[in-house]
Structure 1
């Protein structure tokens, strides 16, 4: 945590920021070690050049912040206080440049800042934080491996619950129960279980459709564990499926593996998408691959980078993201196979290990 504070201090000096205000709760956790959901209350890390960082928290979180945070100066506010007035009192002198997280800042909060912390200019600190987060440390990778192992355990146990006639939503309930039972903090997104022709909906919503013989059965799920997310998709056959469904499956698997082989430091994210997409296009299913190849993974289940064909950013060691090609054919079904991968100094480490060869259930 102190290293991250040092990185931000250096960024402030390089970019000539007088004050940096971080209000995204996940960034506060990332920099200080204090995790909290403040709901509508104000939470922020205030950094001023030449001054000690200050963590501003609701009074009800004061003791927890003092125990967990690497920042020793904790400032609390009551529900009846205006936290922006309190912020102003923590700053010495006038503000030239105030760096904020534009993606986190609402219009209402911006107006409060203009009133109580007027600055000559407002700058977005988002890219600095993004660049810090994209390079995962060894300790972060260890935690993410645990989150992956946990969701794979959930999937393995959940498959034992699959029965002909079971509704999608019933299976979702079983899986989310297993997540908590096995130690997850929470699902990292709404668990998706789709069967039959519903699998042709990339973001379908589980409902009352029942699992039947000859169905494709898709699981897309993840957990938060230790503050970090995992994300995995596997598709299965329920009994005997059609030749076309089998061809779709094998094409997606080939695309998944082609993309993984393309991962190494220094290549563009777009080239990885193209490696997978070309396999699917050559098989005649190009228009049925409806989405980008993947997304970054870490404190958020969806974060930088976005893995699409036009992304010319270069891979760096430490990046973690998903590779999840899919084919979706209305009336026939869909297949998606998703892995979490970690860019190493020399290539790639696949964090997910759940089998990917076509598995027939029942």
Structure 2
């Protein structure tokens, strides 16, 4: 296992009075071991204990030959894997459970009197993953560099008048050419009125003069995610659309400018939201300002009005205000931002100023 990360998790477990923990989320298991295992419907459980008795319960269908720093406990499809798990944990102590562990496993473990009590232990690894180490920061920067290049290429392709769906396919080819492993999420590509739907799924629409074009794209590189949104206009931009764009751009910049250790996530949200509201578009900003990102495109933690957690060096999250006028225009501008010791670093370098294509 990656010892520094494991030590941080064990320290958090001790502070939270959780002596043992079951981790089932493949992304969190990768974070701690450096090994991806995708179990499908089968049980996968990394058991971590303060006494150092770490074990990985894994189906024989998934051969893992590396030393992952935990004893491997193998089982077959016909074995009672929960019985096996319950025999290897401390029955007289509480245990933390992963929030994503299927109830069919948890309920069976409880029936087997696996532990004295059960608590949601996901916050232990979730919060550890929020603070990126040097290796992770470099991987995130590299993924964003690829995304910057992909954004430039896909913007240029809008001139050819492809459908939203065709653009999505072209983007996948671009990522492959640039050495990425694929999408970090299904891209959101919307023209005109479709851009006013924040989570529009690419369809058969083609761009017409004056359309705003939202390009919300991200790739995976070396198991880390990128995410960025740019909005451009096709051949012309109306005064109203330009006003909406400039409002969103200023909100994006104002939110980023206040980022530093000690600031709250909600303060970043307020910086963007208050500006948009001051321009009369408050009710058209319909989502939170951002989300944490790393191994998963939506890691634990968000930039919202209700999150009072404090920013710390090593955190990486999106800042993506938007305005969506139904049937008219949609604008979103998104950057990934790293919290540094004294402030911030924007990971995305792609042009986010007003662009009229064609």
Matched, 1:178 2:161: no
In 2: Cα distance, 1:116 partner to 1:355 partner = 57
What residue is the counterpart of 1:263 in the other structure? 259
Kept in 2, the 8 Å contact 1:18–1:95? The answer is no
Cα offsets for 1:241-295 (capped at 9, x unmatched): 1111111111111111000101111111111111111221222211111111111
**Matches of 1:178 and 1:297, distance apart in 2:** 22
Structure 1 residue 342 corresponds to structure 2 residue 338? yes
Could you tell me which runs of 5 or more consecutive residues in structure 2 were left unpaired when the two chains were aligned.
none
Aligned to 2:124: 128
| Matched residue SS, 1:318 | coil
Q: Find the residue that maps to 1:60 and give its secondary structure.
A: coil
Q: Offset at 1:12?
A: 3.6
Which residue in 1 is equivalent to 2:355? 359
- Within the candidate set 96, 99, 111, 1:99 is matched to 96
Check the 8 A contact 1:95/1:117 in 2, yes or no: no
Q: TM-score, normalised by structure 1?
A: 0.94
Residue 187 (structure 1) aligns with: 183
Contact 1:189–1:221 (Cα < 8 Å) also in 2: yes
Residues 42 and 58 in structure 1, CA contact (< 8 A), matched pair in contact too: yes
| 3-state SS, counterpart of residue 248 of structure 1 | helix
CA contact 2:91–2:116 (8 Å) conserved in 1 = no
Alignment of 1:54-203 (within 5 A): 54-62=55-63, 65-67=64-66, 69-91=67-89, 94-101=91-98, 103-163=99-159, 165-203=161-199
- Aligned CA distance change for structure 1 residues 255 and 17 (closer, same or farther; 3 Å): closer
| Residue in 2 that maps onto 1:293 | 289
Shift of 1:140: 0.5
Equivalent position of 1:9 in the other structure: 10
Seen in structure 2, the aligned counterparts of structure 1 residues 325 and 51 have a Cα distance that, compared at 3 Å, is closer
Aligned length: 357
Partners of 1:95 and 1:51 lie apart in 2 by 17
Equivalent residue for 2:323, pick from 320, 327, 349: 327
Is 1:222 paired with 2:218? yes
Displacement, 1:61? Answer: 2.2
Give yes or no for contact 2:220–2:226 (8 Å, CA) kept in 1: yes
The answer for unaligned runs of 5 or more in structure 1 is: none
Matched ranges for 1:31-42 at <5 A: 31-42=32-43
C-alpha displacement of 1:10: 2.9
1:72 shift after superposition: 4.5
Equivalent position to 1:312, from 273, 294, 308: 308
Q: Is the 8 A contact 2:9 2:128 kept in 1?
A: no
Structure 2: how far apart are the matches of 1:10 and 1:274?
33
Is the contact between residue 32 and residue 70 of structure 1 (CA under 8 Å) also seen in structure 2? yes
How far apart in 2 are the matches of 1:55 and 1:231? Answer: 32
Q: CA deviation at 1:157?
A: 1.8
TM-score scaled by structure 2? 0.95
